[in-house]
Structure 1
Amino acid sequence: MPAADLPLLCPVCRQGLRFTGGARTLECGAGHSFDAARQGYFNFLVGKGTVFEADSADMVAARFEFLSAGHYEPLADAVAGLAAPALREAPAGRPLVLDAGTGTGHYLRAVLDRAADSGPAAAIGLDISKFALRRAARLNPEALNVVGDVWQPLPVAENAVDVVTVVFAPRNAPEFARVLRPGGRLVVVTPRPGHLAEVAGPAGMLGIEPAKDERLAASLGQHFAAVAATDLDLALSLGPRDVANLAYMGPAGHHLDRAALAALEAALPERTSVSARFRISVFQPIR
């Protein structure tokens, strides 16, 4: 799908957006325009922006280093494999994937690489952190990388997306259902009980909320039907730096004391065995 044909909506007036002046400016019929940042992303946070706290540059750097080391590569491969059927079966034109909460873009990269086996896919990566989007724009230059709030109306037309991926990110069920085409897929990754249990306590990480699967089903139930669920367990052997990055790259990073984390890193053994436990759930919109 050429960039000019992406089914984008203006975050101000909800009219269609088109590129003008090459690929550096998006403009709608009402004259609202958005220029690409020097790092290659667009900022669609308008008005009061967002009330949510975006990941900091340090948190993003920790995530980028951890994911670039390949520790979660099997998870990225699994997400790509579950997204692939809906991308192959796109009814017409070039398939489109929306990665909601794209972060550093590692999971979207895996999806795009897998999709390329049967033809290239177009992509939109959305995140509220400009620091994350700077990384994502470098990793996925062929995607449209957008700073935006998933809890606001998505800047995408109705029935336009073949796959929505959500990896450890918020889930706006009504909006995901609106933008997905009939037969499209929503692929959601959540942690399971025991995830990172060996280091979660000492590193000050947040615990897994009880009845998480039930809450996921309830939050999506009005708009989606469950198709499949796959459990993935990874036995990781992490160095001290990896453990520190793992702690700092997630939600707990907003509250962790970097000095205390550095002291923990210094006290850790050369290798720490850690169990990563994921559930990958696939849903289809109810029409």
Structure 2
Amino acid sequence: MNDDAVALLMCPHCGADLESDGTQVLCDRGHTFDVARQGYVSLLSGSGGKIVGDSTEMVAAREQFLDGGYYDRLMDAVADACVDTRTVLDIGAGTGHYLARALDRAGATSVGIGLDVSKAAARRAARAHPRITSVVADVWNHVPVRTESVDVVLSVFSPRNAAEIHRVLTPGGRLVVLTPTDRHLVELVDDLGLVRVDENKTRRLGDTLAGRFEREQRTAVTYPISLGHDEVAAVVGMGPSARHVSADDLRTRVEAMPTPREVTVSVTVGVYARAAATSTAAE
């Protein structure tokens, strides 16, 4: 646990500030949270949420695929928005790859908090970078981070609660959102019958952020990658389609594909400034 990052957290039960004694994270009202031996802490409040966390198998697939460098351009596009930044919060941090790249770009004194509802993801993120503090949290309901305390929030292929993100950002802070277009991995969608990206995703994103954020820039990142069977299985296994097909069925379909398979990576990276005025409606 990084002490500077822990100081940005707040108790999910009472909202008090938190500090770490090395083995626990605790508040002055007696609430304590054990730091797991893998280096993460759970700040789940105990209430049910809308988001289902990634399984151990999904996290392993994501680690395998991202370690292969296929999404390095996406990581760089996100990290470019974090230059000379003191504090970075990744909501839905997954394996921590994007946050680690952002911290390298942000500078040697930067600190990062990675939030994810999946314990398997939190375990991996805790070792992704020495300046990452990894936290299990339901970011849809509540972000256990102090108000106006972080400079940049990342949302990469993840759901987002616009009201909570606005709350935790400093005045002048930025939200960086990476979303897939309807061309993303389209060849695999067609070959394997995967979950399709909503063609109206960008418009809906703008609707959810309206009143709280103002778009500064939007960048399209599109390029081809060449994948073998193992890589295809990994990229499918790390995404939402993994919840709708068994591992054996997926392997059978993948092995029937020609290899290598040329696949399109297509995303949009948007940078949004925190607006002073806000809507009170929940997202």
| Same fold by TM-score greater than 0.5 | yes
The C-alpha deviation readout for 1:66-116, integer Å capped at 9, x for no partner, is: 00000000110110002225x1xxxxxxx1100000000000111011112
Amino acid aligned to 2:37: R
Aligned to 2:67: 68
Residues 106-142 of structure 1 deviation map (CA, whole Å, 9 limit, x = unaligned): 00111011112xx321110000110111111111232
TM-score by length of 2: 0.93
Counterpart in the other structure of 1:37: 36
Name the CA distance, whole Å, in 1 between partners of 2:63 and 2:5: 30
Aligned residue-pair number:
275
User: Paired residue for 1:260?
Assistant: 249
Is residue 203–residue 247 contact of structure 1 (8 Å, CA) maintained in 2?
Answer: no
Of 125, 129, 134, the residue aligned with 1:145 is: 134
Question: Distance between the aligned counterparts of 2:16 and 2:143, measured in 1?
Answer: 12
Q: 1:154 aligns with which of 134, 137, 143?
A: 143
Runs of 4+ in 1 over 6 A off after TM superposition: none
* C-alpha distance in structure 1 between counterparts of 2:210 and 2:271, whole Å: 13
Unpaired runs of 5+ residues, structure 2, are: 277-283
Q: CA deviation at 1:62?
A: 0.6
What is the TM-score with the length of structure 1 in the denominator? 0.92
Distance 2:46 2:186 in 1: 41
Given that 2:6 and 2:18 are in contact with CA atoms closer than 8 Å, whether structure 1 keeps it comes out as no
Q: Is 2:105 the partner of 1:114?
A: yes
> Is 5-14 or 64-73 further displaced after alignment?
5-14
Aligned mate of 2:183, from 170, 194, 199: 194
CA contact (8 A) 2:25 2:33 kept: yes
Q: How well do the aligned residues superpose, as a CA RMSD in angstroms? A: 1.4
Give the secondary structure class of the aligned counterpart of 2:69.
coil
Matches of 1:38 and 1:201, distance apart in 2 = 42
SS of structure 2 residue aligned to 1:40: coil
Give the equivalent residue in structure 1 for 2:230.
241
**1:172: which partner in 2?**
161
Tell me what 1:91 maps to.
Answer: none
Task: Tell me how far apart the structure 1 counterparts of residues 235 and 36 of structure 2 sit (CA, whole Å).
Answer: 29
Q: Deviation per CA, 1:246-275: give whole Å up to 9, x if none.
A: 111011111211111111222222300000
Amino acid at match of 1:264: R
Corresponding residue number in structure 2 for 1:229? 218
Structure 1 match to 2:198:
209
Partner deviation per Cα, 1:209-229 (whole Å, 9 max, x = no partner): 131111000000021111100
Q: Deviation digits for residues 25-81 of structure 1, max 9, x if unmatched? A: 111111000011111100111223434321111111111100000000011011000
Equivalent residue, structure 2, for 1:18:
19
Structure 1 position 47 matched with structure 2 position 36: no
Mapped contact 1:203–1:244 kept (Cα < 8 A): no
Identity of aligned residues (%): 42
- Distance in 1, Cα, partners of 2:179 & 2:6: 32
User: Counterparts of 1:5 and 1:176 in 2: how far apart (Å)?
Assistant: 18
Matches of 1:104 and 1:32, distance apart in 2: 28
Unpaired stretches in structure 1, ≥5 consecutive residues: 88-94
